[in-house]
Amino acid sequence: MVVGGNPRFQYGGYWFSPVDPWPEYWGQNWYQTDDVYVDYRNDGYYMFNPRYPGPGIAITIAF
């Protein structure tokens, strides 16, 4: 979903918004086909895609 020009998604009653752009090498429709997970690391939340190992994408979470 795009709200105010910014992508975000909801899961478990929380809203997640990427701060960083996702890498270009992720598939065009990764958000429809790939499982991702969120982890708290280095004082922040990051989204990871196991299909494309590497650094996570910084995200914000609205509780």
Domains of the chain, by residue range, sit at 2-62
The token duo for 63 is 């509780």
Helices assigned H by DSSP within 1-63: 30-33
User: What is the per-residue pLDDT across 13-47, written as a single tens digit (0 to 9) for each?
Assistant: 999 999 988 888 888 888 788 899 999 998 999 99
Give the pLDDT of residue 7: 77
Model confidence pTM above 0.95: no
15 in Cβ contact with 7 (< 8 Å): no
> Are 36 and 18 spatial neighbours (Cβ–Cβ below 8 Å)?
no
